[in-house]
A = this chain, B = another copy of it.
Amino acid sequence: MSPGRADEVAVAARRVLERSGRDGLTMRAVADELGIQAPSLYKHVAGKPAIEVALIAAGLTEMGERLWAAVDRPGRRAPVAAVLAAYRGYARAHPNLYRLASAGPLPRADLPAGLEDWAGEPFLAVTGDAHRAQALWAFAHGMVVLELDGRFPPGSALARTWAEGAAAFAAPPARVPAGQVRR
């Protein structure tokens, strides 16, 4: 189980994932990509979940980089809109990787420490409030997932929808009356 070859497996797995989607990401396909038989993969990697964790970590890292870049250089956009655009852009550039990294429970224990927080911090940087940041993230994630899966009615003007969300979260944080918070 040399670490070097494990990386090569991850690289091959990523190619397979981006080309064939989550269902196409099979141990046999990855082995094929390397010109090897599936059982031989287990000389380098613990199993399929370990491969997925490596891909999830890569996805989180790349997304974090894009988001931080948007925070640092928002261009002509408002900061919230810049982060949303970066989020959408990365997800559309790597839809299958995004889906893998964002679907189902996070294998937190196996991820590099701090990665998750670091990748999410841009939302905090741009909203200034933890709850507002989570809400903005939820909006972005919801938009991306629905867009990637084609769940919006065909012909929807999604740029308008994204702009609507950006506007809703760009306004100064509303004071939420304590009585409205139930649990």
Contact = CB atoms under 8 A, between A and B. Distances in A.
Interface of A: 77, 81, 85, 102-106, 116-117, 129, 131-132, 134-135, 137-143, 145-146, 149-153, 156-171, 173-174, 176, 180-183
Q: Quick one: copies of this chain in the complex?
A: 2
Interface centre among A161, A164, A173, A181 (most CB of B within 10 A): A164
A106 B166 CA distance: 26
What's the dominant secondary structure at chain A's contact region? helix
Contacts of A168: 132, 135, 168-169, 171, 174
A181 B163 contact: yes
A56 to B, nearest CB: 12
Given A137-B142, A163-B176, 7 more contacts: A103-B103, A105-B149, A131-B157, A135-B164, A135-B165, A142-B143, A168-B168
Nearest to A182: B159
A145 B145 contact: yes
A106 B151 contact: yes
